[in-house]
Structures are given as structure tokens and as C-alpha cells.
Structure 1
Amino acid sequence: MIARWTFHDGDRMADHRAAHLNLPLVDRLPIFISKGDVRLYDDGACINHLHLTFHKAVGVTSIVKRVQETLSYLATPKAYSTLVQVNVITLLSAAFIIFTSIIAQEFLRDTALAQFIVQASTWTSFRTSSIILVATLSMMVIMIVGSWFDKGGPAWSVARLSMRWPFKAIHTPNGPRGWPILGTWWLMQGSNMHRDLAKHAWGGGDSTRKLMALSVGVTRIVLSSDPKVAKQILQSQVFGDRPLKQAASDLGFARAIGFAVQGPYWRHLRKIAVMHMFSHKQIVSNYESLQRETSRMISAIACDLSTDEVGTRVGLCLRPYLQRAAVNNITTTVFGRHYSFGSSCREATALEGMIREGFELLGGFNSADHLPLLRHLPFLPFASRCRNLTRQVRTFVQPILDEHRRRCRQGDSSVSSFVDVLLSLQGDQKLLDDDMISVLWEMVFRGTDTVAVLIEWALAEVILNPKIQAQIHKELDTVVGQTRLVQQKDIDQLPYLQAVLKETLRSHPPGPLLSWARIANEDTQVAGYHVPQGTTAMVNMWAITHDPTVWPNPNTFDPSRFMKNEGGDDIDVLGTDLRLAPFGSGRRVCPGRALGLATAQLWLARLLHQFSWSQDPDHPIQLTDNLKMSCEMALPLHACAMVRIPEL
């Protein structure tokens, strides 16, 4: 792997290749180490790596591993004593060339220049180091020139070079110019990423609003901010899979519903989830449990209300109550257990900590997802954090599986949950424990965030708009009265409350970029543009819901736009109307969207029926968003509450 540290004439180089080029890759390093002969690891190894990478798709991982092993050996005293021919300057130059060539190969994989390198590697008159140096320098020229003169950034520059060779015209989308290697890196991170992307899409005119090209490292991205094009992407089978990020892979989500590849296994998991958790029949059967958990949350809030020494109401931070209630909703269904409110419940606190860490890992920007070479740098903490969280999740979930198995053997069916459904599968449908842990953890992880975030935004908007709160109170008092609690059957008769929730989803979509992207599994056409296989596709739902050509006065919180007299009562939020599809659409639409919406409707109705809300003077409400896994309020909501209707 170490390129040309000693100099040989052409004949000796040819003899050297003939003797060692056919050595298996795994055998070459041990021979090199045992004999201490640099020639056993120069030209032949490098050329073979080029052949393997371009023709057999071995990828960067094996190359980097071999580089690490070789350089580690060269740092030992044995290497110093035996490699007498090695020139230090040449050694350092070779190491630099190797690492930069690895980056180059990630970009050059499909281009004609890559094929030239492979052909050149058979010429005995070329030194391997020279070949790799030419490749590296060529790549740098492409990245620098392409970054600044070709819209979309370096990954698209290389893609266009490959697609046009020789002189083949391909119509690809436009986008902002990027930096060399990094591309438009700065646009794909930060708490306001959805807003920044929307500004660039709108600023480029109708073409970039429909489809905008971006580069992040080696990742090609297309982003749509148009409902018609978004529908084309989300409902296409070509975009039926998700790109597997390092966090999703390391946390085991590759075997769960969200990231599993389309196929029999994925269809099997989705069928089980829909049938036993998310069907209308199952949601109706869980209404009693949902009411019970909602009452616990209401009671916890009521118990903690207080006034100061002069009788002024003291504000509460509502986020912990909403998050604990969300955890209880999902763990009751998935595990058959719920937790008390407050910090004294250690198991619930530990679970919430794991969920927060998962949000940080999956929702954060990971450089190694876009420059795979970085995954092999030991000082980056991302991989170790994933491993630690995986161990914690296994320690938490495995005892639950064992407990339910024991109950099943004893014939105890007093507590039924989704765990029991998975354990009851037989034959070809039976899942391994690792797969069950992945599926269960994903259920808990995905089911504890959206509703809590949505209700926090809704209450903030209602508190800031007293007329809206008064109208909701009037509707609730008319339909429900003040002598009983809101029931699920009442929701259909509360159109204004439903409109408030829809307007919250429009103004503050919990997943403004629909949380997880899609990936093209073959070359395709989108909005008249060529999108190559392997391109990541994203939809900016926040941009769609704040586009004045789609929604009049998009920056005004106005629930009346969804009322019948305004013609907006028929707008569906479950994925059929891409003007407002906060839960996604198509094959990868959120399977729990109906359950999540039913939960949010009941929570909002109960919270506004039983309390009157006002601002906490010590913590003024700020509608600043912060995009992590979901787009939550940057500052947790604090509010003062007065009981209207006590728990009955």
C-alpha cells in the first residue's frame, strides 16, 4: 500500500509486479512485515487497490484499514531496523498521496478519469506514486474548478462530468455553488437549516424551488420546496428507501421499519406494526388507555400549580409534563408499563436520557456520513457514543423481553403489549432478539417526540392569541359542557380546535425536512431533471407551508384558513395533500400518523377545556425554533394556568 519508497528501473519494476501483483490482499501485509521489504508493498499493492476499488466495489473501508496497518507497522522499531532503503521525505509524501487519493476515489468512482487511472496502472513505465499523484491533482482541479463554476457543488460537478462523457448532454438541477470537497456543507447543519434552505430555494426562482441541487462532501442531494414535485419524490417507488446514516446503522435501525430496505422483511415489519398498533381498530381499542394517561398528565399539572406570597400564579415549564406523558403513551402500548411524573422515577429518567441521546445522534450533522474517510479517525467521538447508547438500549430492552417470555410461559396474560405480539410470531415470521430490540426501540424513539413538540407549539400560539383561546373555550363549552371531560367521540364536533392543530402543523411542522431523507435506487427523472442513482432526495415541508404562492399570509397564525367557510376544512394532513404533509407521504409515510394525530387532538382539547392559560411574566414566550431531530421551541414553554374544570 505504501507507494514507491525505493527507486527501481523499469525492468525490475516489471519483475516486481509479476512476482507480487497476484498475491491476495490479505497475505501481502504479513509478508511485508515478516521480511521488511518495502518492495513487497509498493506498486503492486497500490495498483491492485485501484482495480479492487473501481471494479469490485470494495470501497474505502478496506483501503483505509490497510493504510492504518501499514503505517502502524512503520512506526515500530522493527520497521526502523529493516527498512533501510526508506527515505523519510518519500515516506511522508507517499502517505499523503494515499490518503488524498482515497478521497479522490470517492468522487472519481464513475468518471472516465477513473478508467484512465486503471488503464494507466498496467503501464510498466509509470510509477504507482506518479499515477496516484496525477489522479489526486486531477481530482483537486475538478473539485476546485467545479465547485466555483458548476452550480450544485463538487459532488454534482463530478456527476455531470461522468454523465456527459463523451459530450453527452444531461439536464441536471441547479443549486448554490459550494466549496472544494465540502460543497454546500454550511447549509446542511444548524438550528435554522430549514429556513436557510428555503431562502436559497426561493432565491433561485421557480427552478430551484421545484428542485435544487446540493453537494455535501461526496453526497449528492436534490431538495424540493414544491408540493407537486414533493409528491413525485415521496410517492415514487424509485425513492422508496432511505440513506443509511452512520448513527442509524450503529444504533441498529437498519433492521427496523424506518430504515429497512424495501423487500419482504420491511413489508413484514410494517404489516405487523399497522395491524397491531396503528390500525383504526387498534387505535379505538386504545382510547381508554390514552384517556387514562392524559388524565395523569392533567392531574400532575394541576397538583403543581401554585401562587406566590401575594397570590400571583407561578408559571410552570410544560415540556417535562408533555414529554413524560408521551413516553407513557408509547411505553404502555409497546412495553405494557407506565411511569409516574417527576424526577423520582429513575427508570423513566434513564429512558428519557437515552431518547435524548438518540435524538442528538440521529438528528445531528455527522461529517462522516458525507466524507466516509472520517469514520476511521479514532479521536472522533461519534462512533463511541453510538456504541454506548446501543449497550444502554440493550440493557434496558432485553430484560423486558425476558420478563414477557417468562409471563407467557406461566400463562399470565394480564398485561398485553406489542412485545407480546413480536414474541408470538412463529415460523418464518419469527424475529431474532436483536431485530426485536431494534423494532421496539424505534417504536419508542419515534413515538415520544412529535406529539409533545406539536402540543408545546400549539399552546404557545394559543396563549399569544387570547381571541383564539376564547373561541376554543366557547366551542368546548358548547359541545362538551363543564360537567364532564372531553371524550374521543367529541373531537369530530370540534372543527375549530382541529383547525388550530392543523394551523400549528402548518406554522411549525415538527419535521420540517420530513426527518429522514430518501435515496434514488436507480437513475430517474424528477421535474424534468436527471437525478442519478444514489442521489439523496429531501423535501422541505417548512418551505412549502411558508410559501406565499401556496398559502396566503403564511407568517400569520390563522386557524380560520382551515374552516369550512374558508374552503380549507377538506385539507388532509395524513399524506394525501402535499401542501401540508407533516407526517410524510408514500411508502415511507409515518405508520403512526393517525395515532399521533388522535393523541394530539385529545391532549389539546383536554388542556384547553380544563385550564385557562396565560404568559409567565418571568419567561416571555419566544417563537424561535430549534431544529434537532424535530423542530422544537428553542426555549421551553413556561405558562401560568388556572383550573376551569377539575378532574372528575
Structure 2
Amino acid sequence: MAPTLSICLTDYFHHLLILIISTLFLLFLVKSFRNFKSKSKYPPTPPALPIIGHIHLLKSGLPTSFQSLARIYGPLMQIRVGAANFVVASDAKSAQQILRTFDADFASKFQPGPTNYHIYEDSSFTNAPYGAYWRYMKKLCMTKLFTGSQLDRFNGIREQETSKLLKSLLNKSKAGEPCDLAAEVTELTNNMIYRMAMGRRCSNYPNQAAEIRRFITDSMKYAAKFHFGEVFGPLKKFDLFGNGKRLKLTLKGYDQLIEQIMKDYQDNDLETSENDDEKDVMDILLESYKDTNAEVKLTRDQIKNFFMELFMAGVDTTAAAIRWAMAELINHPNIFKILREELDSVVGNNRLIKESDVPKLPYLQAVVKEILRLHPPGPLLRRVSNKDSKINGFDLKKGTRVFINVYMIMRDPNCYKESEKFMPERFLGYSTEMKGQDFHYLPFGSGRRACPGASHAMFVMHATIGALTQCFDWKVKEAEKVDTEAAGTGYSGAFAVPLLCYPNTRFDPFQE
């Protein structure tokens, strides 16, 4: 009886194996037939490893990793990170189709970071899906927060904070001390944004800007510790190194601080001001929060999250661009000399540069444009398709997450001669479009999702770079040049190392 049972079991497993193989083969034929019938053509993709996909190929900063892969697999390629699929667009033609031709089809963004540790769920403006809330906030930005008149009103704040920076550097120069120019410039942009955001109460809380900065810096630090594969790969549900817990605690500390600020405004009627010229960003958002007739009812979490995104975008990206500018100018003394000669010729040597001088300083404008080309503040634009699309001859399904590699596009040797070199003169003699209509030049993005704070950033960059060139000669501490290779590209384009320099006073604008 035992041999008979053994034979039966053997036959059973044999037939079961044949059934499994036949089923898998049939599924393969059905899938192949469907793909043949649909004639879909998807972007090429590098060979992937099981489970992890292409995580092993993303070794350095994402922009440079994508750049290396695109040189092999083309300007539109697929990347898989765990179970998450992405398409990376790396040329101006693909960017134009996504950002202009089919802008409405790619009007939403996907979340880039570890969202499972974020306390403001579904409250983001920057990453909100294209819909009523995003449209309302974009309208608010463009009609009240970042209008020309509002930016003009904040001119005094920008000038005062620039003067504070220069006085700090003058003191260090007098003492023969080095400065961390990266930290100094970050404090400058942080104080500007803080005063624009909550300026009517800042005089009573002199340390609050630094306190907010600490929370923002810590949250960005912990979020940055997550590898791209930890966010989208097979380990995304596990907080392997405790950074998720630290991030959540930091965000809770930020939440308590901003909640107290909002209560102070409301308890002391600070949000009500009869004079529009005295209103800061908090005033405007709390007015909208209280407006029962507003087309979209804002929540407190949305206001808090808006300020966090304002500090992240308005502080670090502008500061990073200024740091890159000074690093490149220090490394290229001939360009530094040409810029200073232009400033001396137009502004003179007895007063500080003003924002109103910038239109008469074409070489300064060219320096800023070249910095934004080589070191864009947002090297990767994010989009997600809301319907099936065809880009550059390839099919993209609804829900496809797309990276647009602005970093690579603006280093295209077919468009820019000696594209890896810092050459401001390439922008002299013709007007470069800054609002995202030239798809070879996209420092602030393009389309509906273009950066709403670009004008403010340009004001700050021109005036600060001009003033630092006017007032000081610069020497790198313990080196001849700034090591820009070590500075990295990262995801955000931020300068990754301290910029330790000796400022040597050349012109003191405060000396009577």
C-alpha cells in the first residue's frame, strides 16, 4: 500500500507542476498578446536586480546618477526603486512636452520624502495634487503674497538684513577671523523670510527666527538621512535607523512653536491691521482662515505646513545659490575682477549696490544666470501624470511618477558650449527668459508649478552677490580654492560643506 501511495503522490505533484508551468506560460502569452495588441512603447530601462530594482545604480546625488544613466539609456528612461517606478526626462524636448504641451496632464506632484513620518498629512501646498486647494493657494501667492507691490514693500527688510550681514563680516575682517560664509548667508535669508512672514511680532521675540531655523534644519537633516531606496524601496515601512522617530519629534516641536505664534496673533488681535502695507504673510493667511466666504477654507495645519515649506524653499535654495556664486567667484578671480569693475563703474566706490542698480549691471545678471544654470536650486522637478500620455514617442500610463532632470538639461553640450565650465559671458548680448519658457534653461521650473517666489530670490541673489563682491576680497581658509566637487549636488542642489573664508575689507559702506 505504501508504494501505491508514493506513486499517487508522485503523480499528483507531477501534474501539479505541469499545471503551474502551463498557467505561468499562458499568463505570459496573454501579457505578450496584450502588449503586442496595444502596441505600447515604454521608455528604455537599465537591467534591474530582484526586489531592489535600480537602487544599486543610484550611488551619488540623484541628479548626477540620473545623468550618468541617461547618457546610456537615453533622454527618457524608466527607473525602478523597489516596487516604485519612475520615468526620468533629461532633455529639453521631453521637458517641454511635460511642462507645456501636456502641462494639464502633469499638473500634480508626487511626494518626495518619508511621508509616513510627516504630521501634517494632506496639508502641503507645494506637493498638493492639482485641485481646488492648490489653485486657491497659488492664487493667494500670486495676488497677495508675492506680488510686485508686496516685494517692493519688503525691500527695506532685504536692505536691513544685508547690512547686518555686511557688518558681521566687517567685524570678522577687522579681527582677522574666518567666517563660515555658508552659515552667514543662510542666517541672512532666514531672517529675511522670518520678517516677511511674521515681521510685526519679531521685535518682541529676537531669538525666534533662530528657533524656527533650528526646527527646519533638524527636520531637513533627518529627512535627508533617508536614502531614496528607503523612501520608495522595499524597506520603506521600517524605521531602520530611528530617523523617522527623530523627524516626527522635531516636527512636533515646530508645530508647538507655530501654534503659539498663531495664538499670539489672534489673542492680541495682531492679525487685524487696517493698513495693508503693514500686513505680513501671517496676517494674510489668518485673514483667509477666518473668512467664512473664502472659496477654500484653510485649516491650521495647512497654514503651519505652508510656513514650513516657505522657510525650506525661501531660505535654503536662495542661500545655496549665493554660496555657489561666491565659491565660483573665488575660484575664478578673473571673473570676480570683471564683476567688481562693472560694480565700480556703475555703482561707484562710495555707496552700496541697491536693487534698483541691477538692470544697469549686465555682467552681474550674467553671473547669477550662470550660477543658476550650473547649480540649480531645484535640480529635479517632480510631476505625476493624471492620465495616459505619450511623451517623446513613449507611452506613460496614468499615475506615472516623473523626474525632470533640470541639472542635466542645463548642462547640455549641444546647447551650451563648454557646458561644465563657469562662463557668465555666455549670457551677455541676449535676453534669457527666466520664467520657464526656454526649456534649455529652467532654474525655477515651468508651467503651473513654477516657483512662485522666483522674483524674491532674484532680488536677494543680485544684491547680496553684488555687495559681497564690492566690500571684500576673499581667501579660502587653508586652501587656494573652494572644493566644489566635495560640495556635491544632492537632491536639492544645496552646498554640502562649510564655506570657510577670510573676508578682507575692501570697502566699508558704513564708514563716515
TM-score range, shorter chain: 0.7 to 0.9
- Secondary structure at 2:436's aligned position in 1? coil
Give me the whole-angstrom Cα distance separating, in 1, the residues matched to 2:426 and 2:98. 27
> Pick from 283, 292, 311: which aligns with 1:420?
283
SS of equivalent residue, structure 1 residue 518: strand
Does residue 507 of structure 2 align to residue 640 of structure 1? no
In structure 2, C-alpha distance between the alignment counterparts of 1:618 and 1:372, rounded to whole Å: 43
> Which letter maps to 1:331?
Y
1:609 offset after TM fit, Å?
A: 1.4
Contact 1:619 1:638 in 2 (8 A): no
Aligned twin of 1:252: 120
Q: Does 1:583 align with 2:448?
A: no
1:630 aligns with 2:495: no
Is residue 413 of structure 2 the alignment partner of residue 551 of structure 1?
A: no
For 1:213, what is the secondary structure of its paired residue? strand
**Which residue in the other structure is 1:335 paired with?**
198
**Partner residue in 1 for 2:9:** none
> d(CA) in 2 for partners of 1:460 and 1:590?
25
Paired residues of 1:359 and 1:628 also in contact (CA < 8 A): no
Contact 1:239 1:519 in 2 (8 A): yes
1:284 is the counterpart of 2:149 = no
Note closer, same or farther for the CA distance 1:554–1:409 as it changes in structure 2 (3 Å cut).
closer
Q: Return 5+ residue gaps in structure 2 as ranges.
A: 1-15
SS at match of 1:194: helix
1:465 and 2:335 correspond: no
Q: What secondary structure is seen at the aligned counterpart in 1 of 2:302?
A: helix
Question: Please, which of 246, 254, 266 is the counterpart of residue 385 of structure 1?
Answer: 246
1:298 aligns with 2:145: no
**1:535 partner amino acid:** T
Count residues with an aligned counterpart.
480
Task: From the CA coordinates, give the structure whose radius of gyration is larger.
Answer: 1
Q: Relative to 1, partners in 2 of residues 1:373 and 1:185: Cα closer, same or farther, differing over 3 Å?
A: closer
CA distance in 1 between counterparts of 2:325 and 2:272 reads: 45
Larger mean Cα displacement after TM superposition, 638-647 or 412-421: 412-421
Shift of 1:616: 2.8
Query: Per-residue deviation at 1:168?
Result: 3.5
* Aligned CA distance change for structure 1 residues 599 and 248 (closer, same or farther; 3 Å): farther
Match of 1:152 in 2: none
Instruction: Find the aligned partners of 1:332 and 1:623 in 2 and give their Cα distance.
Output: 32
Specify the alignment match of 2:405 in structure 1.
540
The answer for the alignment partner of 2:90 in structure 1 is: 225
What letter is aligned with 2:373? R
The CA distance in 1 between the partners of 2:227 and 2:24, in whole Å, is 29
Change beyond 3 A, Cα 1:254–1:598:
farther
User: Displacement, 1:163?
Assistant: 9.2
- Return closer, same or farther for 1:306/1:186 CA change in 2, 3 Å cut-off: farther
Q: Are the equivalent residues in 1 in contact too, given 2:88–2:402 (CA < 8 A)?
A: yes
Note the alpha carbon deviations across 1:407-440, whole angstroms, 9 max, x for none: 3279677963111111112014242212211112
Question: Hey, what's the Cα distance between the residues in 1 that align with 2:42 and 2:271?
Answer: 63
Secondary structure of residue in 2 paired with 1:640: strand
Corresponding residue of 2:10: none
Report the CA distance between 1:380 and its aligned residue.
5.7
Retained in 1: the 8 A contact 2:55–2:229?
no
Q: 2 CA distance for matches of 1:639 and 1:421? A: 40
* 1:268 counterpart SS class: helix
> What is the match of residue 181 of structure 2?
318
Q: CA–CA distance in 2 between the matches of 1:282 and 1:450?
A: 21
1:584 and 1:362 map into 2 onto residues whose CA distance is 23
| Identity percentage of aligned residues | 26
Name which structure has the greater RCO, CA cutoff 8 Å, separation 6+: 2
Matched, 1:213 2:75: no
* Residues 455, 600 of structure 1: 8 Å contact kept: yes
Question: Residues 461 and 261 from structure 1, CA distance in 2 versus in 1: closer, same or farther, beyond 3 angstroms?
Answer: same
The change in CA–CA distance for 1:535 and 1:621 in structure 2 (over 3 A counts) is same
Q: Structure 2 vs 1, CA of residues 251 and 541 (structure 1 numbering), >3 Å: closer, same or farther?
A: farther
Compared CA separation, residues 611 and 527, structure 1 to 2 (3 A): same
Cα contact 1:318–1:638 (8 A) shared by 2: yes
In the superposition, the TM-score normalised over structure 1's length comes to 0.69
In 1, the alpha carbon distance for the partners of 2:80 and 2:285 equals 41
Cα shift at 1:558 = 0.8
Secondary structure at the counterpart of residue 449 of structure 1? helix
* 1:366 shift after superposition: 4.7
Q: What is the rounded CA distance, in whole Å, between the counterparts of 2:212 and 2:112 in structure 1?
A: 23
In angstroms, what is the RMSD of aligned CA positions?
3.1
